């Protein structure tokens, strides 16, 4: 589509979406909206003030939530770093794009949101963590493997937040100054300033490593605000891990407080440059963190602390929409088609995720009674020692239902049992409910062409080399 027609198409979509506007705001709609995605690593949905957590300090994100569309049942379709990020970029499920293990490579031929938007006339930029290249966590990523991003200050993966490196266009390794999320945010602010008067819209992906462990490495001024003794634990954290969980959560919340300040800086820059009038902001995370819940750590498991993520979609200021909470269980592959739908850009046929843009405008929820969640191949010493397994499940607005390879595994009523402490699988009084949810899950698996086979089948199919714990080596 010619760029002028594309811009008129996007303008028409926005006018329909926002009901039109008057005065100086009209000029801001003379081009398609900018898109800013801010993604944190391992930040679970309940760890925010707006979500009711009294221990955290997230005033800027709380304000953003109050001005946004809040998908409060959003889930990570496969709660681990590389798979979710590959799904965000491609709009595909993990068994389609093939990145179902950390450190697996996303094909350079993938059709990604950055490539689609670039073809539609957008400038594209990526800053921070990448984790879908699969050629080593510290290696240079050449342009042909950057999935459509032009501006580039990226490292595949590091959790050394105060000794953090990145690459630009050349193979010289460069270093972020201090705590990397703060410096990365500063670079994003510069990108915003540089594009404030551009004739082209932009798509910028800012990807932070925190609050992923190690938990005790936020700047001291943030760590000093949280004492382990003052942390309130959820009732699903067993007694034998409570002291460790309090210590970890204090550091986790310190990271979150630092990132909240970064969000405040971004919002201020958008306001200062006038970009707030024509920029869609998506704030989310790749997955959650169990942090002792159910005596588990990190991610991969199907519990809410692991799968539920923040997903806030913020509209340009003053364009006629109202902030709202939406119950639909949107998931990772749905991000690409939804953003493209909101911008009036054609969604590629390769995309498997759902377009929620009509639902956001007041239409029907497209999720069809829930979102698929899965673990194709559990990996890592911890997860394997703590009962990690292959699973497929659905997260609805009320229930979580999960099968492993042996059959039904978990069933929770998240309304009556929000901490998921009572497994209802095979309970006589829940037989009809379990059967109904199983039918929904089976239909979704059939539609996804997911035969739910053992992990070794998929690892062999994709030719991955893993160690005894099912892990692809980090550096090679």
Active site residues: 81, 131
Alpha-helical (H) ranges within 274-399 are: 304-307, 335-343, 357-360, 381-385
Name the phi and psi angles at 37, rounded to 5. Answer: -100, 125
Closest by CA to 38, choosing from 62, 55, 61, is: 61
Q: Cβ of 447: how many Cβ atoms within 10 Å? A: 11
Which two tokens mark 367?
Answer: 């999720």
Q: What span, in angstroms and rounded, lies between the C-alpha atoms of 311 and 300?
A: 19
Cα 64–Cα 207–Cα 153 angle in degrees, nearest 5: 130
Contact 84, 76 (CB under 8 A): yes
Q: In what order do the strands lie in the sheet with 34-41?
A: 173-175, 165-167, 151-155, 123-129, 202-211, 34-41, 279-285, 311-314, 68-71, 324-326
Burial 37-65 (b: 16+ CB within 10 A, else e): bbbbbbbbbebbbbbebeebbbebbbbbb
Cα 440–Cα 446–Cα 447 angle in degrees, nearest 5: 90
Which two tokens mark 165?
Answer: 């490196």
What number of residues does the chain have? Answer: 476
Q: What span, in angstroms and rounded, lies between the C-alpha atoms of 28 and 51?
A: 32
At residue 425, the 3 state secondary structure works out as coil
Burial 93-106 (b: 16+ CB within 10 A, else e): bbbbbbbbbbbbbb
């Amino acid at each position: 589509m010619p760029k002028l027609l594309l811009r008129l198409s996007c303008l028409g979509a926005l006018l329909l979406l926002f009901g039109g506007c008057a005065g100086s705001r009209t000029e801001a709609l003379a081009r398609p909206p900018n898109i800013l995605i801010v993604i944190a690593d391992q930040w679970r949905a309940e760890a925010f003030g707006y979500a009711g957590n009294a221990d955290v300090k997230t005033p800027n994100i709380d304000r953003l939530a109050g001005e946004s569309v809040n998908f409060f049942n959003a889930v990570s379709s496969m709660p681990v770093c590389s798979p979710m990020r590959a799904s965000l970029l491609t709009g595909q499920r993990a068994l389609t794009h093939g990145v179902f293990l950390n450190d697996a490579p996303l094909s350079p031929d993938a059709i990604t949101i950055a490539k689609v938007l670039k073809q539609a006339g957008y400038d594209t930029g990526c800053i921070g963590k990448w984790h879908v290249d699969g050629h080593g966590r510290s290696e240079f990523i050449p342009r042909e493997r950057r999935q459509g991003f032009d501006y580039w200050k990226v490292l595949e993966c590091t959790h050394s937040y105060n000794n953090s490196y990145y690459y630009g266009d050349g193979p010289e390794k460069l270093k972020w100054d201090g705590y990397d999320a703060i410096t990365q945010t500063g670079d994003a602010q510069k990108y915003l300033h540089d594009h404030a008067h551009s004739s082209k819209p932009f798509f910028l992906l800012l990807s932070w490593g925190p609050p992923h462990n190690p938990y005790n490495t936020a700047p001291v001024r943030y760590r000093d605000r949280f004492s382990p003794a003052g942390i309130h634990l959820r009732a699903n954290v067993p007694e034998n891990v409570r002291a460790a969980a309090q210590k970890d959560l204090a550091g986790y919340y310190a990271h979150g407080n630092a990132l909240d300040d970064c969000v405040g800086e971004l919002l201020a820059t958008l306001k200062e440059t006038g970009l707030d009038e024509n920029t869609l902001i998506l704030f989310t995370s790749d997955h959650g963190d169990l942090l002792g819940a159910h005596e588990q750590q990190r991610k991969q498991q199907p519990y809410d602390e692991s799968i539920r993520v923040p997903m806030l979609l913020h509209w340009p200021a003053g364009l006629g929409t109202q902030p709202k909470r939406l119950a639909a269980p949107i998931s990772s592959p749905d991000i690409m088609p939804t953003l493209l739908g909101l911008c009036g850009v054609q969604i590629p046929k390769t995309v498997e995720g759902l377009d929620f843009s009509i639902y956001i405008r007041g239409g029907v929820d497209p999720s069809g009674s829930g979102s698929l969640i899965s673990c194709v191949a559990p990996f890592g010493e911890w997860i394997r020692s703590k009962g990690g397994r292959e699973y497929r499940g659905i997260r609805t607005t009320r229930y979580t239902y999960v099968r492993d390879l042996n059959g039904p595994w978990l069933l929770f009523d998240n309304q009556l049992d929000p901490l998921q402490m009572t497994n209802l699988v095979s309970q006589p009084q829940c037989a009809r409910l379990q059967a109904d949810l199983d039918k929904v899950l089976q239909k979704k698996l059939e539609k996804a062409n997911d035969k739910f086979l053992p992990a070794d089948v998929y690892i062999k199919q994709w030719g991955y080399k893993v160690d005894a714990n099912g892990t692809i080596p980090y550096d090679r």
